[in-house]
Structure 1
Amino acid sequence: MTTTKKPPASRRRSPGPVPVAPPCGTCDGTGETTTTVRVGRKRREIGAIQTGLCPDCFGTGTA
């Protein structure tokens, strides 16, 4: 009767660090950009600010 030894079980490794994409430079990672509203013939600025999706990252916040 021959006996065969099993190889030692391999140890489980924890996953390495997940690479993180750098934040977008235009929106600083928020996904939104702001634009000051200009009105009138002289194009004066008013207090209202419009927000919209960032055109560089399309709202994802990562480059």
Structure 2
Amino acid sequence: MTTEKKAPARRPRSPKPAPAAEACGTCDGSGETTTTVRVGRKRREIGAIQSGLCPSCLGTGTA
């Protein structure tokens, strides 16, 4: 009989967390932008505001 020393078992490494995505600069991470409503041939503003999807990030909020 031989007495051999066994190496201790290694613990598996935990996966690194994914890097956080940068917030979109156009909508500041909300996914929505606001524009003023324009009407008529001369495109006058009527004082109303409408919201819509951000054209840069398409509503995801991340760049």
Is the structural similarity TM-score above 0.5? yes
Give 1:21 deviation, angstroms. Answer: 1.2
Instruction: Name 1:36's counterpart in structure 2.
Output: 36
Query: Residues 1-63 of structure 1 correspond to what in structure 2 (within 5 A)?
Result: 1-2=1-2, 5-40=5-40, 42-63=42-63
Identity %: 79
Unaligned runs of 5+ in 2: none
Per-residue CA deviation, residues 4-55 of structure 1 (Å, 9 max, x unaligned), is 5543132354443430111111111000111001234553322321111111
5+ long unaligned stretches in structure 1 = none
When structure 1 is superposed on structure 2, of 37-46 and 15-24 the one drifting more is 37-46
Q: Size of the alignment, in residue pairs? A: 63
- Give the TM-score of the pair, scaled to structure 2: 0.70
